[in-house]
């Protein structure tokens, strides 16, 4: 790759979403905006170096000019004048304020509740992240044609049903923001074995925090993603490595420090929410040589109040086992209605093992391995089960 | 019904109401269908369905968010699910 290519690629990663956002506002049309921005980047590949002082500004200006040219070629004389005037009349380079608002507008359009979650995710990655349709299809294990159709349909709905291009009113903001955060977290989780997707979710999370610094859940989500990401190298060290035996020297200290900082800022604001509490739990796990389970349990108690779901109750049971012993935790786990959920059986297996019930534990490991779709996880579960049988003399 | 009247009054006051009306029971329906050169009449609705169109409210909204605001109000007033779609004048 030449230097020019890598410069353009870096600008593309950083600024694609901003450029598309500005152009969508100027042109009122997503497809046209994408096309003009793509042409502007193609032009950058031909023309750079020298790289202009504001690469993003150059891309936006070039894309605008291309839109004007296109319009001149295609429209009638009167419409041509009006439109070109309109386009040229807008300030060309806006580095702050309104430009940031444009990205915020676009993310709320992409994550509008009138679109289904899969469409929200695809549009966000495509329009703000600059991922191509084949890249998004691969990330979500969906045929390319299906993903293309999904994106076309979503854009069609935005156009036809007039999903607006603006930040929601205050009254709607909490609900609408929840959808945006859910989309980012879903992208992040999809990045378990795709570091590029996790990085994209973190990048978008950073942008969102910059745009909405007063929303504690935005801060909480970013902290949660950073702290989870900090353990990537240790977590997947030749298979799946559980937290308590991970090599802590392989954790990313910079990400941990940043995540802890964000969690402290959240605590100071005193407006807890599910992402903040989950981030606080991760902060406890990444603080010092051992997890403080009593504190983790207290945080799970809080999380269970905020989001009373069986999955949260299951995670709480793991902490409960550390504080009050496996028998108490097992009673809780057996009361949960999550029969098809692999982690439930993995947790049960581990509790049964600790309660010295190897046969029951083996059955639970087998059930967990059967339900999981993740190969590394299945390997780990089968290994655990194998260790069990040898340990208990083949019973 | 009082809630529905209040909803309509609010929509009129806000200047978004165009017209609205309810459809009679499915048992009153007759379907007219072209078949080749003929037009056939059949008793009853297209298909007995659990959910069917009960009525129509046309409002003049600038975008989907505004339309959904009134859709939400209509759902609260009628306690029925409201499908919100763009309407194009013939």
Return d(Cα A62, Cα A15) in angstroms, integer. Answer: 14
Cβ atoms of A230 and A277 closer than 8 Å:
no
Write out pLDDT tens, residues A137-149: 988 889 999 999 9
For A33, A36, A67, A148, A379, the CA distances from A70, given in Å and listed in that order, are: 12, 9, 5, 25, 56
- The pLDDT value recorded for residue A86 is 57
> How far is the C-alpha of A328 from the C-alpha of A366, rounded, in Å?
23
- Check which CATH number belongs to the domain holding B7 and give it: 3.30.70.1060
Q: Which chain A residues touch B84 with a CB distance below 8 Å?
A: 161
Domain that holds residue B61: 2-78
Backbone angles phi, psi at A310, to 5 degrees: -60, -35
Asked if B88 reaches chain A (Cβ–Cβ under 8 Å), the answer is no
Q: Is A175 on the interface with B (CB under 8 A)?
A: no
Residue B90 counted as domain residue: no
Cα–Cα dist A86/A25, whole Å: 12
- pLDDT tens-place string over residues A241-255: 777 778 888 899 999
With a CB cutoff of 8 Å and minimum separation 6, the contacts of A31 are A155
Q: Is residue B64 part of a domain?
A: yes
B43 interface with A at CB cutoff 8 Å: no
Q: Per the CB < 8 Å rule, is B63 touching A160? A: no
Is residue B15 one of the residues assigned to a domain? yes
The angle that helices A326-334 and A310-324 make with each other, rounded to 10 degrees, is 160
A163–B68 CB contact, under 8 Å: no
Query: Per the structure block, which two tokens stand in for A159?
Result: 């156009």
Q: Which two tokens stand for residue A321?
A: 């086992």
Average pLDDT value for chain A: 88
The residue of chain B nearest to residue A115, with distances taken between CA atoms, is B64
Kindly state the tokens that stand for B58: 């046309």
pLDDT surpassing 80 at residue B21: yes
- A286 CA to centre of own chain: 20
For residue A164, list chain B residues with Cβ-Cβ distance below 8 A.
62-65
Q: Which fold is adopted by the domain A1-94? A: Rna Polymerase Sigma Factor; Chain: A (1.10.1740)
pLDDT given at position A321: 96
Q: What is the pLDDT of residues A171-209, one digit of tens each?
A: 888 889 999 999 999 999 887 777 888 998 999 999 899
B65 touches chain A (CB under 8 A): yes
In this predicted structure, what is the pLDDT of residue B46? 74
Residue percentage of chain A with pLDDT more than 70: 90
**Burial (0-12, 13-18, 19+ Cβ within 10 Å), B70:** buried
Can you give the pLDDT at residue A192?
A: 76
Least confident of A54-58, A286-290, B58-62: A286-290
For residue B26, the model assigns a pLDDT of: 86
- At A352-370, the pLDDT tens digits run 999 999 999 999 999 999 9
> What share of chain A in percent tops pLDDT 90?
58
Which one has a higher pLDDT value, A329 or A95? Answer: A329
Nearest-by-CA chain A residue for B85 = A161
Shortest Cα–Cα distance, B9 to chain A (Å): 23
pLDDT confidence of A392, banded at 50, 70, 90? Answer: very low
Report the chain A residue with the minimal C-alpha distance to residue B83.
A114
Q: Is there a contact between A172 and B63 if contact means CB atoms under 8 Å apart? A: no
Q: What is the pLDDT of residue A394?
A: 43
Q: Which of residues 97-156 of A touch B (CB under 8 A)?
A: 112, 114
Cα-Cα-Cα-Cα dihedral sign, residues A109, A111, A117, A119: positive
**Residue A393 pLDDT class (50, 70, 90 cuts):** very low
- List the one residue out of A338, A330, A281 whose CA is nearest residue A309: A338
Rounded CA separation A208/A173 (Å): 14
Structure tokens at A214: 């007063």
CATH number of A313-391: 1.25.40
**CA dist., res. A161 & res. A148, Å (int):** 20
Instruction: For residue A26, give the nearest of A76, A72, A123, A93 by alpha carbon.
Output: A93
pLDDT at A395 > cutoff 60? no
Mean pLDDT check: name the lowest of A97-111, A221-235, B3-17: A97-111
CATH 1.25.40 domain span(s) along chain A: 313-391
> Which residues on A lie below 8 Å from B86 (Cβ)?
160-162
Q: List pLDDT tens digits, range B29-56.
A: 999 999 999 999 988 887 777 788 889 9
More confident residue, A77 or A300: A300
**pLDDT over threshold 70, residue B13:** yes
On whether residue B88 sits in a domain, the answer given is: no
A2: left (phi over 0), alpha (psi -120 to 50) or beta: beta
> How far does the CA of residue A118 sit from the closest CA of chain B (Å)?
20
Rounded average pLDDT over A280-308: 94
pLDDT, residue A79, reads 66
| Count of other CB atoms within 10 angstroms of residue A174 | 12
For residue B85, list chain A residues with Cβ-Cβ distance below 8 A: 161
Question: How confident is the model at residue A87, as a pLDDT?
Answer: 59
A139 vs A125: CA distance, rounded Å: 10
B9 occurs within a structural domain: yes
| Residue ranges, CATH 1.10.1740, chain A | 1-94
User: B86 and A160 in contact by Cβ < 8 A?
Assistant: yes
User: Does residue B48 lie in a domain region?
Assistant: yes
The number of domains in chain B is 1
* Domain annotation covers residue B86: no
Interface test with B, best of A162, A169, A170, A173 (most B CBs within 10 A): A162
Task: Pick the residue from chain A with its C-alpha nearest to B63.
Answer: A162
Least confident of A149-153, A254-258, A338-342: A338-342
């Amino acid at each position: 790759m030449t230097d020019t290519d890598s410069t353009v690629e870096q600008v593309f990663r950083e600024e694609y979403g901003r450029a598309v956002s500005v152009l969508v506002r100027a042109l009122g049309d997503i497809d046209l905006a994408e096309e003009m921005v793509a042409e502007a980047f193609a032009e950058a590949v031909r023309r750079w170096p020298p790289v202009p002082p504001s690469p993003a500004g150059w891309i936006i200006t070039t894309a605008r000019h291309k839109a004007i040219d296109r319009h001149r070629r295609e429209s009638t004389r009167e419409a041509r004048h009006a439109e070109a005037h309109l386009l040229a009349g807008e300030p060309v380079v806006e580095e702050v304020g309104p430009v940031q608002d444009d990205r915020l507008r676009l993310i709320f359009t992409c994550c509008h509740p009138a679109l289904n979650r899969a469409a929200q995710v695809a549009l966000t990655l495509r329009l703000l992240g600059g991922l191509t349709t084949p890249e998004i299809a691969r990330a979500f294990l969906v045929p390319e044609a299906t993903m293309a159709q999904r994106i076309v349909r979503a854009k069609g709905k935005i156009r036809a049903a007039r999903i607006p291009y603006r930040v929601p009113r205050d009254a709607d903001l909490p609900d609408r923001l929840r959808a945006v955060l859910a989309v980012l977290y879903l992208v992040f989780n999809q990045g378990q074995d795709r570091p590029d997707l996790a990085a994209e979710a973190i990048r978008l999370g950073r942008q969102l925090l910059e745009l909405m610094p007063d929303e504690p859940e935005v801060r909480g989500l970013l902290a949660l993603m950073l702290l989870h990401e900090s353990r990537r190298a240790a977590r997947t060290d030749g298979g799946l490595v559980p937290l308590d035996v991970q090599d802590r020297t392989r954790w990313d200290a910079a990400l941990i420090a940043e995540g802890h900082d964000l969690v402290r800022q959240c605590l100071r604001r005193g407006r807890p929410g599910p992402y903040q509490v989950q981030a606080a739990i991760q902060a406890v796990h990444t603080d010092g040589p051992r997890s403080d389970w009593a504190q983790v349990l207290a945080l799970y108690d809080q999380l269970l109040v905020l989001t009373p779901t069986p999955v949260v109750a299951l995670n709480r049971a793991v902490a409960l086992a550390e504080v009050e012993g496996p028998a108490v935790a097992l009673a809780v786990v057996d009361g949960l209605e999550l029969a098809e959920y692999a982690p439930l059986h993995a947790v049960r297996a581990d509790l049964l093992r600790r309660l010295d019930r190897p046969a029951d534990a083996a059955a639970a490991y087998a059930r967990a391995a059967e339900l999981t779709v993740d190969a590394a996880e299945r390997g780990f579960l089968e290994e655990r089960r194998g260790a069990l049988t040898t340990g208990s003399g083949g019973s | 019904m009082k809630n529905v009247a209040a909803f309509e009054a609010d929509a009129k006051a806000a200047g978004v109401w165009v017209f609205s009306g309810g459809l009679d029971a499915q048992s009153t329906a007759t379907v007219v269908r072209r078949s080749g050169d003929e037009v056939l009449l059949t008793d009853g609705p297209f298909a007995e369905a659990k959910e069917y169109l009960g009525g129509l409210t046309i409002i003049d909204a600038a975008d989907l968010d505004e339309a959904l605001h009134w859709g939400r109000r209509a759902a609260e007033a009628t306690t029925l699910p409201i499908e919100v779609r763009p309407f194009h004048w013939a």
